[in-house]
Amino acid sequence: MPCSGLGRPGAFANGFLSLFAGALIVGFHNVWSGIPILLTVIGWSFVLKAAVVFLLPEWGLRSMGRVRVENSRVFIVPGVILILVAAVNGVFAVVGRGQGMTLRSGSTSFSAIRPSGVTCFE
């Protein structure tokens, strides 16, 4: 059964999934500089998609109706690209931080205090 067979409840479920994923990304990774901006843009696009689906459920039904088992191969390349973007972002986050662990939220920065003599990642 195609996703559009679920009707408006299916569109709203799709919207809530997008809203959850987007809010999670934006809430914990709202970085607007460097390579990490890619993940932030993806998060905001999920939030925007959810808003459009909630405000225009017919549009959401049409977009879900385009998804079929026969054309599922078209999702492989975007999926691989998103995985690569996430991997690059993860490597950048680990390598770019240096010795201390820092949590950045907007203009506020919180650094973890490490007791002397304790080393991480050995």
Kindly report the number of other CB atoms within 10 A of residue 53's CB atom: 24
Task: Give the per-residue pLDDT at 112.
Answer: 47
Q: Check residue 107 and report its DSSP letter.
A: T
Q: Which domain holds residue 21?
A: 3-111
Average pLDDT on 32-41 reads 86
- Residue 118 is assigned to a structural domain of this protein: no
Q: How confident is the model at residue 107 (pLDDT cuts 50, 70, 90)?
A: low
Domain membership flag for residue 99? yes
pLDDT of residue 56: 86
Burial group, residue 121, by CB count within 10 angstroms (0-12, 13-18, 19+): exposed
For residue 122, tell me if it sits in a domain.
no
Domain assignment present for 63: yes
Note whether residue 116 is domain-resident. no
Our count of domains for the chain comes to 1
- pTM, entire model: 0.56
Least-confidence region, from 20-29, 41-50, 69-78: 69-78
Separation CA 122–CA 119 (nearest Å): 7
Flag whether 96 is in a domain.
Answer: yes
Determine which of 25-29, 35-39, 100-104 has the lowest per-residue pLDDT on average: 100-104
| Domain membership flag for residue 60 | yes
What is the mean predicted confidence (pLDDT) over 16-34?
A: 91
Residue 2: per-residue pLDDT:
45
Structure-model confidence comparison of residues 105 and 78, the more confident one: 78
Note whether residue 16 is domain-resident.
Answer: yes
- The residue among 20 and 120 whose pLDDT is bigger is 20
Confidence of residue 106 (pLDDT cuts 50, 70, 90): low
